[in-house]
Amino acid sequence: MGLFVGVDVGGTKVLAAEVDATGAVARTARRSTPGRRVDVRLLEAALTEAVEEVAAGREVDGVGLAAAGFVDAAGERVMFAPHLPWRGEEVRRRLTDLWGVPVALDNDANCTARAELRYGAARDARDVLVVTMGTGIGGAVVLGGRVHRGRNGMAGEFGHMQVVPDGRACECGGRGCWEQYSSGNALVRHARARLGHEPTLLEELCSGDPDLLVGPMVTAAAEDGDLVARGAFASVGEWLGVGLANLVAAFDPELVVIGGGVSAAGDRLLEPARTALARSLVGGGHRTVPPVVRARFGPEAGAVGAADLARDSLA
């Protein structure tokens, strides 16, 4: 069977997972991502620690890397990553040399699409849009049952579509990008803005310090009925639906799959998105609006797809 590890490298965390040939996750390890303004060796050290923890002294047959960034068509380099320090680095070669095992590389949303197509929510689907919501927004386009990577390997970078002209500044260097209004960062920003203005459980969870407030706290508070947290999800979900309406108009998919860490909120996020999609989609009353569903593997989908990519690359 062999030991294959998938590593999902996001803007705030690294998730490594041992994944078997059926897509089942046997063991995981997490590390914090050191940020985008650090030496790439600090990021590589975090990846190494996570892989070694999952391997637990066993020989690894291959590692797949799901990177939150623009991966070239050859699957060799991360050309640009808004939330990570990679800028044109030969990531696949560097990590192959560092670890002494075969490494496969792709964009994190493409890996999520791969997992959901083979084992998850998009099985048997032909035309699918995949949107991953974490620190930012990633995306993948599935046409005819295959991930469409585009001329440069960078198709699906939906998070940096401009939805508000001259809007909020984005880590990519642009302004008004979709992920500034619908992402983990946007969720936390919305909640922080309400602290001190109305009663909220979030004050207790972050000890009154807005800088300590993180996405899982907002999710937990929303589940407990906190109105500020629920309002944050309503805002982020509505913006998600508005962006999806543009994508559905362009690609006319049969299904939309939402993955990434923010998707853990389930219908708390997806219901306002579905409502906004139906309302905003051109000709929505005269067409079939595609279902919007959560990725089967949730926040682990990128790691599952990355391990599957590594396994296939050695087949």
CB atoms within 10 A of CB 263: 23
Average the pLDDT over each of 80-84, 107-111, 249-253, 267-271 and give the range with the smallest value: 80-84
DSSP 182: S
- On whether both 188 and 282 belong to a single domain, the answer is yes
Place of tokens 């490494």: 103
Q: What is the pLDDT of residue 221?
A: 95
| Calpha distance 308→28 (Å, rounded) | 15
The pLDDT tens digits for 246-288 are 999 999 999 999 998 899 899 999 999 999 999 999 998 899 9
The confidence score (pLDDT) of residue 38 equals 80
Q: 84 and 168: one domain?
A: no
Q: What percent of the chain has pLDDT over 70?
A: 99
Domain count, the chain: 2
CA 156 to chain centroid: 12
Same domain membership, residue 181 and residue 278: yes
The Cα–Cα gap between 288 and 315 comes to 39
**What's the rounded Cα separation, in Å, for the pair 175 and 59?**
46
What is the rounded distance in angstroms from the CA atom of residue 245 to the CA atom of residue 26? 37
Residue 305 lies in a domain: yes
36 band by pLDDT with thresholds 50, 70 and 90: confident
160 falls within a domain: yes
Q: Is the pLDDT of residue 315 over 80?
A: no
Task: State pLDDT tens for residues 136-151.
Answer: 999 999 999 999 999 9
Per-residue pLDDT at 34 = 85
Residue 241 in tokens: 């639906």
Instruction: Provide φ and ψ at 288, rounded to 5°.
Output: -85, 115
- CB contact set of 158 (below 8 Å; sequence gap of 6+): 131, 137, 138, 139, 178, 243, 247
- Answer whether residue 149 is part of any domain: yes
Same domain, 147 and 236: yes
pLDDT at res. 261: 87
Question: Which residues pair with residue 139 across a beta bridge?
Answer: 131
Q: Are residues 152 and 270 in the same domain?
A: yes
Of 196 and 78, more confident? 78
Quick check: 35 pLDDT over 80? no
| Same domain (yes/no): 157, 75 | no
Is the pTM above the cut of 0.85? yes
pLDDT of the residue at 314: 84
Instruction: Report the CATH number that the domain containing residue 62 is assigned in CATH.
Output: 3.30.420.40
List beta partners, residue 19.
Answer: 25
Q: What would the two tokens of residue 165 be?
A: 């002209």
Q: What pLDDT, on the 0 to 100 scale, is given for residue 12?
A: 85
Confidence label for 219 from pLDDT (cuts 50, 70 and 90): very high
Do both 106 and 185 map to the same domain? no
Q: Which two tokens stand for residue 232?
A: 């944050």
Q: What is the model's pLDDT at position 64?
A: 98
Domain that holds residue 186: 125-295
120 located within any domain:
no
The DSSP symbol for 29 reads E
Q: Can you list the alpha helix ranges (DSSP code H) found in 36-148?
A: 40-55, 91-99, 108-118
Q: Both tokens of residue 143? A: 């046409």
Taking only the tens place, the pLDDT of each residue in 168-216 is 999 889 999 999 999 999 999 999 999 988 899 999 999 989 999 999 9
119 inside domain = no
Say yes or no: 107 and 131 in one domain: no
Instruction: Indicate if 67 and 172 belong to the same structural domain.
Output: no
Across the beta sheet with 25-32, the strand order is 25-32, 13-19, 4-9, 62-67, 103-107
Domain for residue 99, yes or no?
Answer: yes
Has residue 11 got a pLDDT over 90? no
Residue 252 in any domain: the answer is yes
176 domain-assigned: yes
